Amino acid sequence: MRDQLHQPDLYPLTSKYDAGWLLALDMGPNPLWLMENLLRDLRLEPGMRVLDLGSGRGATSVFLAREFDVDVVAVDLWVDPATATAVFEDAGVADRVEAVRAEAHSLPFDRASFDAIISIDAYEYFGTADGYLAYITRFLKPGGQLGVATPAMRREVREIGHIPHHIRTCVGWEAMAWHTADWWRFQWAITELVTVTSARFQERGWADWLRWERAKNAPTEDGVIAMLEADGGELLTFAFITAVK
Ligand SMILES: C[S@@+](CC[C@H](N)C(=O)[O-])C[C@H]1O[C@@H](n2cnc3c(N)ncnc32)[C@H](O)[C@@H]1O
């Protein structure tokens, strides 16, 4: 199954990374595929200061520093910064990446201090409230970029009228945060705080998610595979949203 994580045609940058290393840092479907896909809609330049918000065990922060030569602040709540720092040291990027433990609503940074804020598979935990965009964009410089990759459903729960059984069984009410790309586009655009530059579904999101889950050592324990198989690609994928302040 692990060799299925090697998809150089689709993800040439990610394919340089060892699948075992990535799986050891697992906290959700391949964060480097999500990052590489999202970065089609962002423009990073060497030396930029980038906030990796909800960085988990740090794979995406390593990727940003190595592939784009940017300085990264890796913020996470659940993962001990010492654990993430060890990952950065092993990967040889500790001089470019700083691990900070912080809650997404009380970030210890100056206003206008980042060129880009990127969040991979984390924004759904804190970013759906109406007021959050105003809060997080205060940390962006004028012209700074915001990019989010987040689990999504192809139809709104509100439109369906309930959380579909196969999704509720696995993630419960948390699926309420799995919005469509259009929901995010409207939610951000209506504020006029940012200009939305893209809002789309990951083309192969469901298939990639399943591929990742099947490659894991203990693939069935959390029921994600059962959820994805029952879904069959009808609803589940990821959404990518980018904007400029
Ligand atoms: C599903 S994990 C994904 C981690 C990583 N981005 C990845 O893709 O492997 C979600 C991450 O969001 C972080 N997170 C959740 N709620 C948060 C909050 N309120 N403030 C900061 N980070 C939060 C957690 O600490 C966790 O590491």
Give the model's pLDDT for residue 3. Answer: 81
- pLDDT tens figures, 176-211: 999 999 999 999 999 999 999 999 999 999 999 999
Ligand 1 atom with the shortest distance to the CA of 26: 9
Mean of the per-residue pLDDT values for the chain?
96
Give the closest residue to 97 by CA, choosing from 151, 143, 49. Answer: 49
Question: Ligand 1 within 6 A of 160 CB?
Answer: no
Does pLDDT of 58 surpass 80? yes
Count of structural domains, the chain = 1
C-alpha 28 to ligand 1 mean position (Å): 10
Q: Is the pLDDT of residue 219 over 60?
A: no
Report whether residue 120 contacts ligand 1, using a CB cutoff of 6 Å. yes
Main-chain phi, psi angles of 238, to 5 degrees? -120, 155
Total-model pTM: 0.97
In whole angstroms, what is the distance from residue 136 CA to residue 134 CA? 6
Give me the pLDDT at residue 216, please. 86
Amino acid at 131: G
Question: For residue 153, what are the domain limits?
Answer: 2-244
Identify the pLDDT of residue 217: 67
Residue nearest to atom 5 of ligand 1 (CA): 56
Residue 46's φ and ψ, nearest 5 degrees, are -55, 140
Residue 8 CB partners (closer than 8 Å, separation 6+):
15
pLDDT tens, residue by residue, 229-242: 999 999 999 999 99
Token pair of 113 as six digits: 């201090």
Give the pair of three-digit tokens for residue 180: 């469509």
| The pLDDT of residue 175 | 98
CATH number at residue 50: 3.40.50.150
Determine the pLDDT at residue 2: 72
Ligand 1 center to 194 CA (angstroms): 23
Task: Kindly state the tokens that stand for 236.
Answer: 């589940």
d(CA 236, CA 233): 6
